[in-house]
C-alpha cells in the first residue's frame, strides 16, 4: 500500500469525513424516525413541470445548444430571470452581476478559494452551516466567531486574525432561517454587520439558501439589498449573495447562483473555467423553463406544507420536551435547534437513540468551527409527516428525560 498521506498536499489533512456523517449512515434503517436530513421532501418536487420542460427542450431546436458546452457565466435567460426575481426583494442588479454555479455549495468552494490564503480568518456564526466549514477548510483558514449582535470590536477581530498569521477576509452567514438553527437575523443585526464589515474592510458572504422559505413574520431585506441601498449601487457593495434552486425546485439539478459586484463575478468566472467550465447547460435551461412558468406557485406549495410541519414540530416539542431543554421557533426554512441541559452530549444521545428510541437527529457540535457546544442538536421537519413528528418528538423527549435522570443519578451525594 502506498503512503498516500505523504504525497497528498498539506491541505488534505483538513479534509476529514465527519464522524457524524458516518454515524448518520447507520440511520437509514426502516424503523428509524429521522429528523436528521436537511433535504427537501421529494413529494414536493415539480416533477411534471420538469418532465414537460425537458420534453420541450428535446422536441425543439434548442436541443443542440442544450446538449452543447455553454458560457461559464451561465445561461443568460436564467440570469435574466434571477435579476427580475431578486429585484422584488430590493436587489437591483444586471445579468452581469449574476453567475450560475453547480449548486450554491460550489459558490462556497469558489469563494473560499478566491478569498482565503492559508491562516487567513473567516468569520462564521457559532454554529454555522457544516458544508461551509467543509468548503472553506480546504483553503486552510482559521475561524473566528462572528458575533452578530454582540459587542466585539473590529480591533478584537483584527488582533485574533493577526495572531493566527493572516487577515480577516470575510464574514459568512445565513441571514434567513439558517442551517442549523432556523433563526433569522433582524434588520438591526444586518445593519450592524454591514458596519462591522465596513470597519474591517472585508466581504460579507450572504448564504440565502433558505431565503424563499418564509412561512410567517415580516420579511427582512437581504444584506445585499441593504448594502446596495447604503452604498448607492451593486458595484459599490461588499456583500456577495449566494442563492439556490435546491430548496425550491430540486437539489439534483445542481443549479445555484452568486450575485455580486463585477470584479468578484469576473474572478468567479475564471475559477469556473478552471474547475468545470460551466454548470449543466440543459439543467439551467430546464430551471429557467420551470421557474418562469410558475416559481411562485411552487414556492407557495412548499411553504404551505413545511409550515404545517414546523407547527406540528413546535407543538410536539412543547408537549414532550423535559424541563431544561430549549429550542428555536423558526419563521421558515427546515430546521429547529435544540439546546439540551448543560453537560449532555448530542452525539452520545444519538448513539443511545440508535439502540433504544430509534429517532435520528444531527448532534450540534459538528456545526461549531471549534467543535464546542456538545449539548445541542439539529432536527429537521422537512421530510416528516405530522404523525412521525409527534411520535419522533415523543421518543426524543423520553430519551432526553432518561438521559437527564441518569446524569443526576451519577452525581455524588454530598
Ligand X SMILES: Cc1ncc(COP(=O)(O)O)c(C=O)c1O
Q: Does 145 bind ligand X (CB under 6 A)?
A: no
Q: Does 207 bind ligand X (CB under 6 A)?
A: yes
Q: Does 131 bind ligand X (CB under 6 A)?
A: yes
Q: Does 104 bind ligand X (CB under 6 A)?
A: yes
Where in 61-100 is the site for ligand X (CB under 6 A)? none
Contact pick of 133, 209, 224, 261 for ligand X (by CB under 6 A): 209
Cell matching residue 108: 462556497
Q: Which residues contact 235 (CB under 8 A, 6 or more apart)?
A: 261, 262
Q: Shortest Cβ distance from residue 243 to ligand X (Å)?
A: 8
* Residue window 8-47: x/- pattern of binding to ligand X, with contact defined by CB under 6 A: ------------------------------x---------
In a 3-state reduction of DSSP, which class is residue 322? coil
Residue (256 or 330) nearer to ligand X, CB: 256
Q: Shortest Cβ distance from residue 131 to ligand X (Å)?
A: 5
Q: Does 103 bind ligand X (CB under 6 A)?
A: yes
Q: Which residues contact 218 (CB under 8 A, 6 or more apart)?
A: none
Residue (131 or 308) nearer to ligand X, CB: 131
Q: Does 179 bind ligand X (CB under 6 A)?
A: yes
Q: Which residues contact 83 (CB under 8 A, 6 or more apart)?
A: 93, 94, 95, 97, 98
Number of residues that bind ligand X (CB under 6 A): 14
15: left (phi over 0), alpha (psi -120 to 50) or beta: beta
| Beta pairing partners, 143 | 122
Q: Does 279 bind ligand X (CB under 6 A)?
A: no
CB 113 within 8 A of CB 167: no
DSSP 8-52: S-GGGGG----HHHHHHHTT--TT-EE-------GGGS-HHHHHH
Distance CA 43, CA 50 (A): 14
Distance CA 25, CA 12 (A): 23
Contact pick of 72, 137, 211, 246 for ligand X (by CB under 6 A): 246
Q: Does 174 bind ligand X (CB under 6 A)?
A: yes
Question: Where does this chain bind ligand X (CB under 6 A)?
Answer: 38, 103-105, 129, 131, 174, 179, 207, 209, 244, 246, 251, 256
Amino acid at each position: 500500500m502506498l503512503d498516500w498521506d505523504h504525497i497528498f498536499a498539506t491541505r488534505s489533512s483538513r479534509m476529514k469525513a465527519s464522524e457524524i456523517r458516518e454515524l448518520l449512515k447507520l440511520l437509514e434503517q426502516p424503523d428509524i424516525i429521522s429528523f436528521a436530513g436537511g433535504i427537501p421532501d421529494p413529494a414536493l418536487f415539480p416533477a411534471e413541470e420538469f418532465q414537460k420542460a425537458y420534453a420541450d427542450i428535446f422536441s425543439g431546436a434548442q436541443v443542440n445548444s442544450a446538449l452543447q458546452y455553454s458560457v461559464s457565466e451561465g445561461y443568460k435567460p436564467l440570469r435574466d430571470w434571477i435579476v427580475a426575481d431578486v429585484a422584488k426583494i430590493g436587489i437591483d442588479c444586471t445579468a452581469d452581476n449574476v453567475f450560475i454555479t453547480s449548486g450554491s455549495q460550489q459558490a462556497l468552494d469558489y469563494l473560499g478559494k478566491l478569498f482565503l490564503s492559508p491562516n487567513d480568518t473567516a468569520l462564521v456564526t457559532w454554529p454555522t452551516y457544516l458544508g461551509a466549514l467543509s468548503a472553506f477548510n480546504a483553503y486552510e483558514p482559521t475561524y473566528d466567531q462572528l458575533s452578530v449582535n454582540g459587542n466585539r470590536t473590529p480591533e478584537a477581530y483584527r488582533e485574533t486574525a493577526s495572531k493566527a498569521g493572516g487577515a480577516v477576509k470575510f464574514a459568512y452567514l445565513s441571514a434567513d432561517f439558517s442551517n442549523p438553527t432556523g433563526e433569522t437575523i433582524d434588520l438591526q443585526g444586518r445593519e450592524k454587520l454591514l458596519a462591522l464589515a465596513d470597519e474591517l474592510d472585508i466581504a460579507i458572504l450572504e448564504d440565502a439558501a433558505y431565503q424563499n422559505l418564509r412561512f410567517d413574520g415580516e420579511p427582512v431585506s437581504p444584506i445585499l439589498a441593504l448594502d446596495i441601498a447604503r452604498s448607492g449601487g451593486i458595484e459599490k457593495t461588499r456583500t456577495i449573495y449566494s442563492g439556490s434552486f435546491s430548496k425550491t425546485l430540486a437539489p439534483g439539478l445542481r443549479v445555484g447562483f452568486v450575485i455580486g459586484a463585477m470584479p468578484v463575478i469576473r474572478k468567479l468566472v475564471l475559477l469556473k473555467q478552471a474547475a468545470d467550465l460551466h454548470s449543466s447547460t440543459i439543467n439551467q435551461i430546464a430551471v429557467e423553463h420551470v421557474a418562469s412558468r410558475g416559481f411562485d406557485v411552487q414556492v407557495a406549495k412548499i411553504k404551505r406544507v413545511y409550515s404545517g410541519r414546523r407547527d406540528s414540530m413546535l407543538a410536539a416539542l412543547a408537549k414532550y420536551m423535559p424541563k431544561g431543554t430549549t429550542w428555536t421557533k423558526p419563521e421558515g426554512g427546515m430546521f429547529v435547534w435544540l439546546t439540551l441541559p448543560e453537560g449532555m452530549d448530542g452525539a452520545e444521545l444519538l448513539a443511545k437513540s440508535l439502540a433504544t428510541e430509534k429517532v435520528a437527529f444531527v448532534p450540534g457540535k459538528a456545526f461549531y468551527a471549534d467543535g464546542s457546544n456538545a449539548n445541542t442538536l439539529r432536527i429537521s421537519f422537512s421530510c416528516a409527516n405530522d404523525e412521525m413528528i409527534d411520535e419522533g418528538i415523543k421518543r426524543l423527549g423520553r430519551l432526553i428525560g432518561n438521559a437527564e435522570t441518569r446524569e443526576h443519578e451519577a452525581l455524588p451525594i454530598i
